[in-house]
Amino acid sequence: MTYDAEATRQRIFTAATAEFAAHGLAGARIDRIATAAQANKQAIYLYFGGKEKLFGAVVRAKLDEICHAVTLDPSTLPESVGLLYDWYHENPELLRLLLWEGLEVGDGPVEGERERKDSYRDHVDGLMAAGMSDARTAQDWLFTILGLVAWNFAVPQLRRLLLDEDDAERAIARRRAVVVDLARVLAERAQAAMR
pLDDT digits (tens, 9 = 90+) for 127-181: 888 888 889 988 998 899 999 999 999 998 888 888 888 888 999 999 999 999 9
pLDDT tens-digit map of 8-36: 999 999 999 999 999 999 999 999 999 99
Q: Are 145 and 183 in contact (CB under 8 A)?
A: yes
- pLDDT at residue 74, rounded to an integer: 74
Residue in 89, 77, 94 with CA at minimum distance from that of residue 145: 77
- Residue with the larger pLDDT of the pair 2 and 82: 82
Q: What's the count of helices (H) and strands (E) in the chain, helices before strands?
A: 10, 0
CATH of domain 57-194: 1.10.357.10
Half-sphere exposure of 189 (CA within 13 A, CB side): 9
Residues 104, 102, 121: CA angle, nearest 5 degrees: 135
- The angle at the Cα of 110, spanning 15 to 116, to the nearest 5 degrees, equals 85
Q: Nearest Cα to 120, choosing from 98, 94, 93, 140?
A: 140
E strand residue ranges, the chain: none
Check residue 3 and report its DSSP letter: -
pLDDT digits 0-9 by tens, 66-111: 887 787 777 788 998 999 999 999 999 999 999 999 999 989 999 8
CA distance 156 to 147: 14
Confidence check: pLDDT of 1 > 70: no
Longest dimension (CA), the chain: 64
Nearest to 78 by CA among 186, 183, 7: 183
Domain boundaries, the chain: 57-194
Give the per-residue pLDDT at 2: 66
pTM: 0.86
Which pLDDT score, from 0 to 100, does residue 194 have?
66
- What pLDDT is stored for residue 152 in this prediction? 92
Comparing 23-27, 43-47, 190-194, which segment has the lowest mean pLDDT?
190-194
